[in-house]
Amino acid sequence: MAERRMFAKTVIDSDCFMEMPASAQALYFHLAMRADDEGFLNAPRGVMKRLGSSEDDMRVLIAKRFILPFESGIIVIRHWKLHNWIRGDRLQETACKAEKALVIEDGNVYEPGVRQVSDKCQTSVSIGKVRLGEVSTHVDPEANETKKPKKKNRDFPAHIVKRFDALWAVYPRKDGRLPALRAYAKVADQPGIDEAIKAGIERYNKYLASAGTEYGYIKMGSTWFNQHSWEDEYRIGTDIKTKREKRYESII
């Protein structure tokens, strides 16, 4: 497998890529550096763990379609053929042959493919936990009954939304409002919870200012609320550095 990797400016200089958080961009580069010669990677979570990336970073890459995930946990870099072209006599074929069979190449870009799964002409490709490119002539009448629709903003009591919005207004990174609201609603009945969360946000804001943390490394609102980060302790000091910065320094 080649030791060097390249990146196409048409991809990484695009508005879609540059608008992503810096943490998601960093994860993309690390995943691409460790992918095989055909752009597949069988251990993306190991990379995330070493890098300190969050689930939100991976979700952003999937939502923006820079990577395609499979149910097996394997991923493929969607624009791999734009980044890297390897001569046939030097190419080491991917070991992820089952996953490769689920995608097609469209103008040097991987796209979800179509495969025959039954004799009723039901065609679909399952990638990650979401079915992409699904076309089916078979309809399951019970399918819609088993699905639990996610709550929307209007599904929460007005007083819960009002209390949450007061907290959301002071949180520094307003990404993932609805998941954050869901997380808050689960604990909203706890005595003194609003005061505890507000105090936690204030401590976190002071910590960020003290550490000089870049915006891209601030936890998304959905992550902060889901992890109950108001319960965390934040050491305030002029020499405080983010965990990710410390990891990079230890590597260097």
User: 26-62 pLDDT, tens per residue?
Assistant: 999 999 999 999 999 999 999 999 999 999 999 999 9
Tokens of 92: 């080491």
CA–CA separation, 80 and 68 (whole Å) = 11
Q: What is the CA radius of gyration of the chain?
A: 22
Give the residue extent of every domain in the chain: 9-135, 153-251
Beta-carbon contacts of 202 under 8 Å, excluding residues fewer than 6 positions away, are 170
Residue-wise pLDDT for 91-149, tens only, equals 889 999 999 999 998 878 999 875 433 333 333 334 444 443 443 434 444 444 445 55
CA–CA separation, 87 and 91 (whole Å) = 6
CA–CA separation, 27 and 67 (whole Å) = 11
**Contact by Cβ (8 Å): 151, 140:** no
Residue-wise pLDDT for 145-164, tens only, equals 445 555 555 678 999 999 99
CA–CA separation, 219 and 207 (whole Å) = 12
Please name every residue paired with 126 in a beta bridge, in sequence order, or none if there are none: 131
Instruction: Strand 130-135: give its sheet, edge to edge.
Output: 115-116, 123-127, 130-135
Residue-wise pLDDT for 183-210, tens only, equals 999 999 999 999 999 999 999 999 888 8
Q: What is the helix (H) or strand (E) element at residue 226, kind and residue range? A: helix 221-226
**Contact by Cβ (8 Å): 78, 65:** yes
Backbone angles phi, psi at 160, to 5 degrees: -70, -45
How many CA atoms within 13 Å lie on the side-chain side of 90? Answer: 8
Beta-carbon contacts of 1 under 8 Å, excluding residues fewer than 6 positions away, are 36, 37, 92
DSSP 196: H
**Contact by Cβ (8 Å): 112, 127:** yes
**Contact by Cβ (8 Å): 134, 124:** yes
Residue 139 has what pLDDT?
A: 40
CA–CA separation, 222 and 130 (whole Å) = 20
Residue 122 has what pLDDT?
A: 37
Residue 181: count other Cβ atoms within 10 Å of its Cβ: 24
